[in-house]
A and B are shown apart, each in its own frame.
Chain A
Amino acid sequence: MSETHSFYEISSPPGMTGIKSWLLTHDHKRLGLMYLAAIFFWFNVAMILGLLIRTELMSQGRTIMGPELYNSFFTLHGVIMIFLFVIPGIPAIFGNFFLPIQLGTDDVFFPRLNLFSWYLFMFGGLFAIISLFVGKGFPDTGWTFYVPFSIEVDTNVSLTVMAAFILGMSSLLTGLNFVTTFHRMRDKSMGLMQIPLFTWSLYATAWVQILATPVISITFVLVVMERLLSIGLFDPARGGDPILYQHLFWMYSHPAVYIMILPGMGVISEIIPVFSRKSIFGYKAIVWSSMGIAIAGSLVWAHHMYTSGMSDVSVFVFSLLTFLVAIPSAVKVFSWVATMYKGAIEMTPALLLSLMFIYLFSVGGLTGLVLGSVGTNIHVHDTYFVVAHFHFVMFGGTGFAFFAALHYWWPKMFGVMYRFRPAYVGACLTAVGFLFHYVPMFILGIQGMPRRYYDYLPQYETGNFLAGFGGYLLCAGIVIMFANLLMSFRQGVAAPADPWGATTLEWKVPSPPPVHNFVKQPDIMEFPYDFSGIGNQPGAGARTGDR
């Protein structure tokens, strides 16, 4: 491959240098990295908060903090993790970086809007920080901001929901950009069924972002309006209906769960075929199941509200619909497993993390069915069972997919190879810690321990202690993984263009890619996962990982 300058060396628009070339960039790759930096920061903050919460709960009574601080901390943990890590995580970082390359084009459709989204993201984060230090401190409502508490409490709810509003805008504009790019910038010779699955999953996600986010925006506006003007729309004494708040909230926040998980599934659909050296099983089924999840997932919001006092008919209907979501999710899991069957498996950290994803996500999904059926839900509603379930999906699912994506695309983004052994150690420690952390919570939930409480009865102490212990293992594992990735800069082992033997377009350009991504017009393969040209050979870069 001819010597080309990477996007680190040439700015877009041209002629800018230093910090300016980053802060004013139109380059989707630089923006992806800027998101990575910001999200990395927020993830660590929220992880530390989570660890502090678990430490507090490791023994009965006051351990390290008082109840008010505890309430603020779990709210802050939820708000940061949801709005500043899980929702933007994969689309904003890897989507921005790889969607245009996978489509064979040089940038997203609206590069300046893309930069604007990043600034909105930063402002949203800034708002969240400001709300910590002004007024009566960070809200203690939980990330759901349920009325009437969120309207009456005198902590800084208004500022925090405005932060979430701005972050929603950022996510919406990113979705807008992706859809337009998908339709208008795709390489002319690339048909709809030749698009890589990661990009397909981002496309499905983008539509959910576009059509669901405005509902949360207006809901948050209503909360602020109620706090400022006390209209009484959710106040039963004045004719309002607090359950409607929950409807509006979950109309966004349930689809948001699919905003979080769909890109993760897309990552896994990329990684599994590459390291099985085998074409993905059921490409079309995966594409359609992405769209199916996006649609079905938007129809099930009220399954968060079985015990809130809504009608029995509604409980029945939403329970039924909830079970439907299991079908497309299962189609994906089966396709991944079937792809590996009789493949030439080559183990790498990215694949290991993907396998962990499949296992943990399946557990999360299946316990979702326990929660989706009304009878069992009423028993475990608002207990630790729910906490464990959604952490299995969000962390075991999206979180592990995020780590897998980091390990898969790291050589492409930074042009350096990391070492495999520490990555394996970190990943295994994370997974073991994860199970220690959340499996006790399932048991605690079935025993009846309510979520979000500051203190608990003596019989729950063992479980909570174990969970806290697991939390430390988990964080240690994550630190090892991150440290290993960061160490790769010091070792400076250059990554080849295609270290894994992968076939999608991003592996056909140099690592890191040049500023316009493609040096020459890309060859679009008839099918994006055709490994016949590569055979069963291990990837060129894989050996450098074992050093």
Chain B
Amino acid sequence: MNREIDTTGIKIGMWIFLYSEIILFGGLFVLYAVYLHRYPQFFSEGGKELDRIIGTLNTVILLVSSFTVASSVTAVQRGEKKKCAALLLFSILCGFGFLVNKYFEWGAKIDHGIYPNSERLVNGEPGENIFFGLYYLITGLHGLHVIVGIVLLCLSLVLLLTGRVTAQRFTMLDNSGLYWHLVDLIWIFVFPLFYLVL
């Protein structure tokens, strides 16, 4: 029984996987909501200690990369292979740019003695400890997803260049794109909730 590849079915599967990712982060947002309710002033102070400029820059980077990934899907469907490859490469570079920013941001925080179980957080106010605990957890998990997203995009790029992603068959690229947008989606919430709160 040979049947045609059912792209819609594959997409349903991918979306269901994305739902599980959303709920995975959802568990952390439950904690965020409760602790924001409990320690609003510490969340506000903690938010001011984070670097808004890096945060905004990272938001812009992710939004732009999301756009280029979406465009690469358009490009592949139109058979514009070179354009598609260039767009993907640019998106991957954006991903690395995001990680580099994150590295400097975390590095600066750690230099200030703010990291899980650091002396400052252990002896300081409980609200501050919770804020930065959540900050590291959520941005850490998000960063992990960025890395996975980059790997998926690289894989799609390789498949595109070797001719296994084509205008007729681009599910791999499409799904990697969906994953990348999910990473973006989560950041869109993380950014105001941590960097701009109150």
Contacts and interface: CB of A to CB of B under 8 A. Distances in A.
Contacts of B16: 175-176, 179-180, 210
A98 B1 CA distance: 18
Interface in B18-61: 19-28, 30-31, 34-35, 38-39
A492 interface: no
Interface residues of B, number: 38
Contacts of A251: 27, 30
B129 A232 contact: yes
A232 B17 CA distance: 30
Contacts of A106: 1
Interface string B85-124: 0000000000000000000000000000000110001100
Contact residue range for chain A?
Answer: 35 or more
A229 B117 contact: yes
Interface in A207-261: 210-215, 217-219, 221-222, 225, 229-233, 237-241, 244, 247-248, 251
B172 interface: no
Contact of A231 (B22, B26, B39, B137): B137
A210 B17 CA distance: 8
Nearest to B134: A233
19 contacts: A175-B16, A179-B16, A184-B6, A184-B9, A184-B12, A211-B23, A213-B20, A215-B27, A218-B27, A222-B137, A231-B116, A232-B116, A232-B130, A238-B121, A238-B129, A239-B39, A239-B125, A239-B130, A241-B35
Nearest to B17: A176
A211 B19 contact: yes
Contacts, number: 107
Contacts of B163: none
Interface in B142-190: none
A239 B12 contact: no
B124 to A, nearest CB: 9
A414 interface: no
A85 B92 CA distance: 43
A214 B20 contact: yes
A179 B12 contact: yes
B12 A180 contact: yes
A211 B15 CA distance: 12
A239 B13 contact: no
Contacts of A239: 35, 39, 125-127, 129-130
Given A211-B23, A215-B27, A241-B34, A109 B133 contact: no
Contacts of A443: none
B27 A172 contact: no
Contacts of A237: 126
Contacts of A248: 27, 30-31
B191 interface: no
A533 B126 CA distance: 72
A516 interface: yes
Nearest to A229: B116
A109 B13 contact: yes
Nearest to B24: A214
A51 B133 CA distance: 43
A344 B122 CA distance: 72
A432 interface: no
Nearest to A231: B133
Given A110-B13, A232-B129, 4 more contacts: A183-B9, A211-B20, A218-B24, A239-B126
Contacts of B23: 211-212, 214-215
A185 interface: yes
Given A176-B17, A232-B130, A247 B24 contact: no
A533 B38 CA distance: 66
